[in-house]
Structure 1
Amino acid sequence: MAGSWTHIRLSNRWRLLLSASVCFSKLSCKEGHSGPTHESMQAVFDMQPFRPAVNLSNPTITNISFTLYAVLGVNEKTQILTTFLWLRLYWHHEFLMWDPEECDGLTKISLPVKNLWSPDIIVYEFVDDDVSQACPYVYVNHTGHIRWDRMLRLVSACNLEIFSFPFDVQNCTFTFGSYMHTSEKILLHKCTLSHQYTSGEWELVDILGETSILQFGIDEWDIITFWVVIRRRPVLYVVNLLIPSSFLMLIDILSFYLPPHSVDRASFKMTLILGYTVFLLIMNDLLPSTANGTPIIGIYFSVCLALMVISLLETVIITNVLHHSSMKYQEVPHWVRVLILKHIANLISVTDLHQICQYLGDLRAHLTSLQKESELQNQWCHVGYVLDFLLFRIYLLLISCYAMVIISMWCIWISQT
């Protein structure tokens, strides 16, 4: 029974307020005073919980003006975008109207927003509370039109695509709509889209907006969806990631010009791999990571490390071949002489290596009296040099093809966006 009596009292209060609102269509002013009287304003303040419409079957039209000021942060792991917005809302209050001629020519006043009804517009993608400073006042003109400026630090969910990092372009949506009122109560209109963008890691490409209807069951909500397209500035990552990695790969290629019979080449390559591993560990924080996929730059670093390991393996093989020339001076098999010393050497045009090996053999002639051992040693030396040149050119071809593929993929992605 108590609940029924409370419902009856609220209904009676609503009827009294509605009848009072119908009785006056404009606020009253006193002669010699600028602005509506406190009594007439208080009557409007008492109606704060109710939508300001004389005919409740007519929806309240709310206009939204959207300005993107800055992108504060992008978290690829949690798929969260943090932005700072300037949001301006317009709506019509049918009980806040007065005649400027009766109010000493006053056409605009500011009122506390907490004393007036305001549309419950939210962003559907928000995932955290707004911690920005709220504006406590609204501007009201004599026709009843209200303007409310809001500073909004928006933390919203966004489906971030990081495959083309650091040359990626993100397209995030901001969906504005009422939390409780359906399209029969509140209609949304889009006014203007603008931006006053500050410098940072991201640059704004475009902002688009569209009004649509969101249907849930039998109810329909009027919503406005904004598409914000932003592009990452890649200079930081090119300087800190791509260029150092390219330098290390270049040094690895130049290390093939070290003498293959020298142990310094293997130790140099192992040191280079260790340095590249440390580089990846230090730069790991700059690389985005999600559960959905891996950026192409991460694949690039992994393949570069694999190529360095292959380069070290090639050095191990060549060192093992050259080691035969210093053990028992075994004779080079006939198929090795035919395949490597004849065909492969002619194919890659390194028959001048025989003269080099012969020269090395002549230098060693005064140190050994066994001509056969010297010839066998030179043959194995020749085999090692030919294999070294062959594997070096194959390695260089792999790196060139890999670099062309990576650059082509990034160029295609940029041209498509």
Structure 2
Amino acid sequence: TLALCCLLFIQVRSVLFAAPTCSYQNVLDHLHLTKANETFTMSRPVKDHTNKTVLYLEMIVYAILDVKETDQTFIAYVWIYMEWGNDYILWNKDDFCGISEVIVPTEVLWKPDITIEEMIEKDKAPQSPFLKIHSNGTIEFRNDQIVISACRMHVYKFPFDIQKCNITFKSYLYAEHELQIEIEKNSSVISMWSREIMATEFEWVFVDMTVTNSTVNHYGYNQTIVIYTIEMKRKSVLHVASFVLPILFFLCLDFFSLLLPHGGGEKIGFKTTVLLAVTVLQLILIEILPFTSSKIPLIVVYILGIFGLMLLSLLETIVVNYLIEMDSASQDDAQSVNE
């Protein structure tokens, strides 16, 4: 009997002092968070409509995929982080075994209608399917996407140019008193992070990234925007080796051709061939540079100058050959008269 009482006491004690078990579903049931509950998706998640929703936004450039000068487009792979508050998502984590965050599908909660102003082609990859909710009402959303944006190129100093492209985040419909976009980190921090994680830069070198926020008036009401400006420098070594030096070599070759003997058409043919080679390089350069440039790039002036010098050299050779032929003809006529 004593043994039976001891066994019963141990069992009761284990039941009374056993650690409680909790699940994420317990939290969702407490919040009444389901796909069918439209309370969380139909409108901005504030209990007082006069309270604005503050959105903290952060962007990091992971890769510079392409910069198309002729199309004036900038293509980059970016990481986007957003954080905002929800007045309906609150619970005491001590009541749920210390659970302070839960990951849920994106379609069960309201999300800010954020877009990129310079975007000219939508990203075909699907957005991140999940959100992270915190016990204090904070909602966290992370997404990776390919940004194809318009960027005005300044190629006056090509191939030693530095380009700056903007990526501007704004809301489609919400005014400033409803949705305010704030900067999560300063420019130096995001530049350092982007520089550390940069996977590829194509033919560019990432220099710096600055971030500013401002208020603009769109369609009659104010909206807050966040502007990320990406500064990058072109890798000029390949262009120097492909255009600048070969054209300079052709000019030197053309000058040395002056040492060739006059007479006949070999010298003129040689100079014409060199001139055509420079013309081919010029046509290749035209395919790279945009036609929307307001100033003539320096490299075009450089090529035109060399082309003009070589053309003058060719004309000089033609005139000298003509004079030699005229002098030879006059000598032949004089000799025939003397005979």
TM class by smaller structure = 0.7 to 0.9
Is residue 236 of structure 2 the alignment partner of residue 234 of structure 1? yes
- 1:269 counterpart residue number: 271
State the alpha-carbon separation in 2 of the partners of residues 202 and 92 from structure 1: 38
Which position in structure 1 is the counterpart of 2:38? Answer: 46
Residues 85-136 of structure 1: per-residue CA shift (max 9 Å, x gap) = 1000011112112111110111121111111111111111111111234210
Partner of 1:292: 293
Contact 2:155 2:293 in 1 (8 A): no
Out of 297, 316, 331, which is 1:314 matched to?
A: 316
Aligned to 2:12: none
SS in 1 for 2:233: strand
1:59 matches 2:59: no
Cα distance in 1 between the residues matched to 2:284 and 2:223: 49
Match of 2:67 in 1: 74
Q: Where does residue 22 of structure 2 map in the other structure?
A: 33
Corresponding residue to 2:122 among 109, 121, 129: 129
Distance in 2, Cα, partners of 1:263 & 1:117: 80
Question: Does the Cα contact within 8 Å between 2:162 and 2:234 map onto a contact in 1?
Answer: yes
CA RMSD of aligned residues (A): 2.5
Q: 1:54 to 1:157 in 2, by over 3 A?
A: same
Give 1:46 deviation, angstroms.
2.6
- More relative contact order, 1 or 2 (CA 8 Å, 6+ apart): 2
Distance 1:329 1:150 in 2: 87
More strand by percentage: 2
1:185 counterpart (155, 178, 201)? 178
Amino acid at match of 2:293: N
Q: CA deviation at 1:261?
A: 4.1
Give 1:213's aligned amino acid.
T
Shift of 1:264: 2.8
Residues 252-401 of structure 1 correspond to what in structure 2 (within 5 A)? 252-261=254-263, 263-282=265-284, 284-285=286-287, 287-293=288-294, 294-329=296-331
Conserved? CA contact 1:34–1:105, under 8 Å = no
Match of 2:207 among 205, 208, 214: 205
> Counterpart in 2 of 1:365?
none
Identity %: 25
SS at match of 1:210: strand
CA distances 1:180-233 after superposition (whole Å, capped 9, x unpaired): 111111111101224132242111111111111112354110111121111111
Q: CA deviation at 1:307?
A: 2.1
Alpha-carbon distance in 1 for matches of 2:219, 2:98: 50
Letter in 1 for 2:273: T
Contact 2:153–2:163 (Cα < 8 Å) also in 1: yes
Unaligned residue ranges in structure 1 (runs of 5+): 1-30, 332-367, 374-417
Aligned partner of 2:111 in structure 1 is: 118
Deviation at 1:262, TM superposition (A): 5.5
Query: Is contact 2:61–2:78 with CA below 8 Å preserved after alignment?
Result: yes
Separation in 2, partners of 1:92, 1:176: 19
C-alpha separation between the residues in 2 aligned to 1:265 and 1:166? 34
Q: In structure 1, the residue corresponding to 2:319 is in which secondary structure?
A: helix
* Structure 1 partner of 2:7: none
Is residue 166–residue 228 contact of structure 2 (8 Å, CA) maintained in 1?
Answer: yes
Instruction: After TM superposition, give the deviation of residue 245 of structure 1 in Å.
Output: 1.3
Q: Which runs of 5+ in 2 are unaligned?
A: 1-19
Q: Output the amino acid matched with 1:252.
A: D
1:283 deviates by 5.4
Q: Deviations over 1:5-30 (max 9, x none)?
A: xxxxxxxxxxxxxxxxxxxxxxxxxx
The structural deviation recorded for 1:254 is 0.8
Which residue matches 1:138? 131
Q: Could you say which residue in structure 1 is the equivalent of 2:227?
A: 225
Q: Note closer, same or farther for the CA distance 1:89–1:257 as it changes in structure 2 (3 Å cut).
A: same
2:133/2:140 contact within 8 Å kept: yes
**Do the aligned partners of 2:27 and 2:96 also contact (CA within 8 Å) in 1?**
no
Larger-Rg structure: 1
Contact 2:71 2:290 in 1 (8 A): no
Distance 1:283 1:178, change over 3 A: closer
Q: How big is the shift at 1:299?
A: 3.1
Segment of structure 1 superposing worse, 254-263 or 68-77: 254-263
Query: Who is 2:218 aligned against?
Result: 216
